[in-house]
Chains A and B, each alone.
Chain A
Amino acid sequence: MQRHRPWIVMVVLALIVTACGPTAVPSGTGTSAPSGTASAALPSGSASGEPSASPSGPTSAVCDVPKTPPAGDGTTAADQTLRLPLGDEPESLDPTLVSSLRAVEIMRQLTYPLVYFDKDLNTVPGLAESWDIDGTTITFHLRDANYSNGEPIVADDFVFSWRRLVDPRVAAEYGYVMYGLAGAAALLDLDTDALPPDAEIDALLADVGVSAPDDKTFVVELAQPAAYFLSVATLWVTVPIQEAWIEQEGATEAGNYVASGPFTLETWDHNSKIVLVRNPEWFGEPAKLERIQFTLIEDEQAALSAYQADELDMVGVPSADIARICGDATLKEQMIETATAGFEYYGFDLNDDQGAFARSPHLRRAFSMAVDKQTLVDTVRQGAATVAGSAVPPGIPGHQADAGLAYDPAGAKAELDLALAELNMSDASELDLTVGYNTSPLHEQTVDFLTEQWRTNLGVEVQSEGLEAVAYSERRSSDPFDINRASWTQDYPHPHNFLGDVFAGGSHFTGYASDEFDDLNTQAAAESDPAAQVALYEQAQAVLIEDAPVIFLYWYGGYTLVKPHVQGLVPTSTDEDPGMMFFNLVSIGEH
């Protein structure tokens, strides 16, 4: 219903010269979503249009379905093609340039990194069959493996790929994951208003801590000990790239693509479909699937119709349809519960020392404890999420299910009284606060819920202000609201990516800066013993909970319909589409 709204909003925005930021226009994000990029789009913006996810009657909205589909009947169909919807045209299939979750899903099929995951997300050998970590040096020993063009994958291809990622002339969005690499910071922090001459950049690139003593050995020098860096070597941006391939015109088009993963590119009809075909040269056991066909369908409802017409094998359930589909006996049997490692949160503005939230940690805790997150998840999210009290999501090492400030109206009121004393205020009505968000039906309902909770449990009236997605992102980083809607989804399944990468160094929009938190993160990053490392991250998380710079609302989840003939699906908590890390194990049964 509201899918056309963002268009109208944008036209209005474009026509009225919008010097005025605050426009509390309701808008559907549709599936084009607040940002097509790595994070927000998917789980948070899964706002499917109609705000019909309203609390509906006394029945529990939560849908009780398994997390893994039934095993299937073990038959093998003649046509081994998995048909999936693709919510957006990939911004690129160049491994260095990819940043959106949709495109990452495809990169996971086309490329393979040094280090991969097992089904429980433990790191296991990928293109490196082993590695040695010695202080700041990681030595990867490569296995015998070929690209889809039959040529061998050599250590020089990693050297090229990693340098390219930090090359300012390439301007890769994910270059930042390389900050820990020796010599990389000098390139990533270059003043680009006056880029030095090419020779100087090349000299800096030569100093980056990557080298290839021989074809089978790739050596990485880090700026300081960082055990988490092994997780960086799992990322799609760190896969091997043949220089001769990527520098030719149209390298990422079908026919030219050189893949290192279980599949290679057969067809890329721009804005229409992408077909991957089994890569017979891949070093692992060949994929059971012959093909994976991604059809570009931006509209969630259209994708659902295509699934029901047997044109797709899997589809995410729009939140507005969860209750209906869960009530349909046939469809419910095809439904699985999914998780995406990431969290929805509301961050306080701590940048201005004079702001109420900056002056009073008690006030932050009061606002956090006053929110009944379970009801929020059950109603607004229709159960498609897990209540969160901290950052590290389920399925990631360091996850603490019960940590955090629990819903406690009386405790919240007590914290509020302490806060008012701290702020020299006699009454809560003296607080003048605004919560900002990027408009979508989902976010609107969430903000309505939050302001109602604060009104009821604290007696505080909070204004709300919605902005169009990009305008909101800009406002949040330049001039944040008192409370700001935000989301984080993972880059790599490691606690560092949920703690240090989000909250350390005061770099985030909240302006939160804690030496204690930063120190714990640095120590944890350098700790090589996994158990000790997790313990340090848990301590860091405890500091974060105590300081309460943000309200953690929930970890992302959702529901996906899977046709019964899809066999061998292995969902993990880092998926965009369930099972995407192991599509090579999937097969299609007779149907």
Chain B
Amino acid sequence: MRGYLVRRVLWIVPVLVAVSLITFLLMHAVPGGPWDREKPLPASVVRRLNAEYGLDDPIHVQYLRWAGALIQGDLGPSYRYRDRSVNDIVGDGIGTTVQLGVMAFLLAVLLGIPLGMIAALRQNKLPDYAATLVSIVGIATPSFVLALLLVVVFSVTLRWLPTHGWEGPASWVLPTVALAGYPMAQIARYTRASMLEVTRTDYVRTAYSKGLRERAVVLVHMTRNSLIPVVTVLGPLLAYLVTGSFIVELIFSVPGIGRFYVNGINERDYGLIMAMTMLYAVVIAVLNVVVDVLYAYIDPRIRYS
């Protein structure tokens, strides 16, 4: 197990190098640069800015400079926010984004798993249809539609909650719900499917025929096994949630980092693009390892050597 873990962790390094190289090259291949504006900057200003930020160097020099700084924990300058570094910008917002992501994740898990279980245990009965309806609506409704609906109902019409901002629990509610909608539906669907599968296994039939009550069968025998496929999707889901949602953060004006995925690219703010990509890559890679390790705990049949 330990050797496996070390190998998996070491593998993250080449993955990150590959991700950073590909992103760096693609980003510079996209037409237009950070100084191409609708109102053109004078050529002399562009030359000066390029010189200041080393954008006139060959691309491999730029990459090595970026990578060298990264190793020292320096994500480089922002071209858009000229008196702030990418470290400042990401550092400012990441706490908020992680908080929002974790809250949404917990909400999605705490609602999604029971919803899926109820649906599976009452297959083709009213609770199943109701749960299925909820999850299909959840999957089919994009977060921005859900977000705008929540704002119209709870903020503009009922005035219970603020429309935007991130100042105290009242302002956390709507973004969390909007962000949790889709993952919750997805978790419910996975849970239902895998519960149904487990229902048909021999050991469950045995458990029932031993005369165990449903409660015991479900909690002791079924839940743990049915969660294996669910855990597989939880890893990427958590990665997605804690690295920020552009749309939910935009609509609710949450001061997180989600907006920089898009704004970084729109502004050709290369340092910011690289930082966001690497952040996402690291979180995904680490969570995948965590998920694999979790398997071993959930399912004793899985052994790593």
Contacts and interface: CB of A to CB of B under 8 A. Distances in A.
B255 A296 contact: yes
A471 B37 contact: no
Contact of A192 (B47, B88, B142): B47
B247 interface: yes
A190 B263 CA distance: 32
Centre residue among A15, A188, A272, A296 by max chain B CB count within 10 A? A272
A489 interface: yes
A472 B42 CA distance: 17
Contact of B155 (A192, A305, A473): A305
B305 interface: no
A298 B164 contact: no
Interface residues of A, number: 81
Given A10-B266, A17-B29, A18-B29, A306 B163 contact: yes
A398 interface: no
A3 B164 contact: no
A469 B163 contact: no
Contact of A38 (B39, B51, B255, B261): B39
A210 B259 CA distance: 42
B177 to A, nearest CB: 16
B286 interface: no
Nearest to A476: B40
A13 B30 contact: yes
A188 B250 contact: no
Contacts of A192: 44, 47-48, 50-52
Interface stretch (A86-94, A380-388, A582-590): A86-94
A119 interface: no
B31 A471 contact: yes
A136 B251 CA distance: 52
Contact of B263 (A32, A311, A474): A32
A231 interface: no
A37 B266 contact: no
A486 B48 CA distance: 25
Interface in A543-572: none
Contacts of A470: 31-33, 36, 266-268
A283 interface: no
B265 interface: yes
A120 interface: no
Nearest to B147: A302
A11 B261 CA distance: 10
Contacts of B47: 191-193
Contact of A173 (B25, B45, B88): B45
A8 to B, nearest CB: 10
A204 B276 CA distance: 41
Centre residue among B84, B162, B261, B268 by max chain A CB count within 10 A? B84
Interface string B250-263: 11110110010111
A556 to B, nearest CB: 13
A35 B37 contact: yes
A173 B41 contact: yes
A19 interface: yes
B246 interface: yes
B163 A305 contact: yes
Interface of B: 23, 25-27, 29-33, 36-42, 44-45, 47-52, 56, 80-84, 88-89, 92-93, 142, 144, 148, 151-152, 155-156, 159, 162-166, 246-247, 250-253, 255-256, 259, 261-263, 265-268
Interface of A: 1, 3-4, 6-7, 10-11, 13-15, 17-19, 21, 30, 32, 34-41, 44, 89, 91-92, 94, 97, 168-169, 171-173, 175-176, 188-193, 195, 252, 269-273, 295-299, 301-302, 305-306, 308-311, 438, 467-475, 477, 486-489, 507-509
Closest 3 CB pairs of A and B: A40-B38, A39-B39, A470-B32
